[in-house]
Amino acid sequence: MVLVRVTRKAHFSAAHRLCRSDWSEERNTEVFGDCANPNWHGHNYELVVTVEGEIDPETGFVMNLKELKDIIEDRVVSDMDHRNLNTDVSWLSQVNPTTENLAVAVWGRIAASLPSGANLVSVLVNETSRNSVEYRGPNEGGRS
C-alpha cells in the first residue's frame, strides 16, 4: 500500500481576545499579555490542512483538492473569516480562542467531512509569520 499526503491552504482574518472570565483583568493581562486587550485584536490566519490516503487508480487523486477546498471553506473559513472568534463562531463558544484551541476545533470540523479513504493527518494554524500550532489528531504518538 502506497500512502500519499496532499495539502490545501486557506486564509481567513479574524479578531479575538484571549481571556478567562473567571480571572481578573490583571491576571488575564499577566498571562495573555496584549492578547487580553478588552477591545480585541486580529490576525490574518493561514490554515494548512493535510490528508493522507491511497491514490485512486481511476482519478489519480488521494482526494480531489477542489473537494478539500470546499470542505475547508464550508466547515471553517465561512464561519471564521472577518468574525470575532469569541462572539461570532458558535462552535468556539466554549473555548478560549488560542491558536492551540483553534487547531483542535478545526480538526473536529474537518475530519468527519472527508470522503472515505482520505484521512486527516494534520491541521496547522499560522497565527502570524512567527507563531503557529500544528495538531495531528487525538491519537498522535499513541496518546489519547
Q: What is the secondary structure of 69-101 as a DSSP string?
A: HHHHIIIIIHHHTTEETTTT-GGGTTS---HHH
Regarding the domain delimited by 3-138, which CATH topology (the fold level of the hierarchy) does it fall under?
Answer: Tetrahydropterin Synthase; Chain A (3.30.479)
What is the β-pairing status of strands 41-54 and 83-84? unpaired
Whole-angstrom distance, CA of residue 99 vs CA of residue 80: 13
Give the pLDDT confidence of 5-58 residue by residue, as tens digits: 999 999 999 999 999 999 999 999 999 999 999 999 999 999 999 999 999 999
Give the pLDDT confidence of 94-137 residue by residue, as tens digits: 999 999 999 999 999 999 999 999 999 999 999 999 999 999 99
Q: Which of 46, 45, 43, 51 shows the shortest CA–CA distance to 107?
A: 51
HSE-CB of 58 using CA atoms within 13 angstroms = 2
Intra-chain end-to-end CA distance of the chain, in Å? 26
Overall pTM > 0.85: yes
Give the pLDDT confidence of 43-92 residue by residue, as tens digits: 999 999 999 999 999 999 999 999 999 999 999 999 999 999 999 999 99
Domain boundaries, the chain: 3-138
Q: Which three cell numbers stand for residue 88?
A: 461570532
Catalytic residues: 35, 82, 127
Whole-angstrom distance, CA of residue 56 vs CA of residue 32: 46
Cα–Cα distances in angstroms (integers) from residue 83 to residues 14, 71, 102, 107, 124, in the given order: 5, 19, 14, 19, 20
